Amino acid sequence: QVQLAESGGGLVQAGGSLRLSCAASGRAFNSYAMGWFRQAPGKEREFVVAISGSGRSTDYADAVKGRFAISRDNAKNTVALQMNSLKPEDTAVYYCAARNGGYVRRSVSEYDYWGQGTQVTVSS
């Protein structure tokens, strides 16, 4: 059981940066692999990046590789997503997710808990 809450979204110009944060309420945070997903209007929710429960493994979608970076602080029950060199196509609602299992996964269906989402808008 875990509750998630995202923050840090906003409006930014293309080429700019934004840092999202996800705070988890619950126990055994290091038992959960964490992921970030995004959903643009009219599109399906898509995988962005995931990090293992220990923080030792990560998996990035090709679209964000080299621009985004995920990190976690298990002592504080938080996960962050640093987004650099933002593009208009990054515009979406970003969701933090947790799964019952420590290994990274890409599928939406593999995650058990979801935050409410935070809007990221990148203007040109």
* 1 pLDDT above the threshold of 90: no
3-state secondary structure of 110: helix
Angle at CA of residue 89, ends 84 and 93, nearest 5°? 85
The answer to whether 73 touches 83, Cβ cutoff 8 Å, is: no
Mean of the per-residue pLDDT values for the chain?
A: 97
Express each pLDDT in 71-121 by its tens digit: 999 999 999 999 999 999 999 999 999 999 999 999 999 999 999 999 999
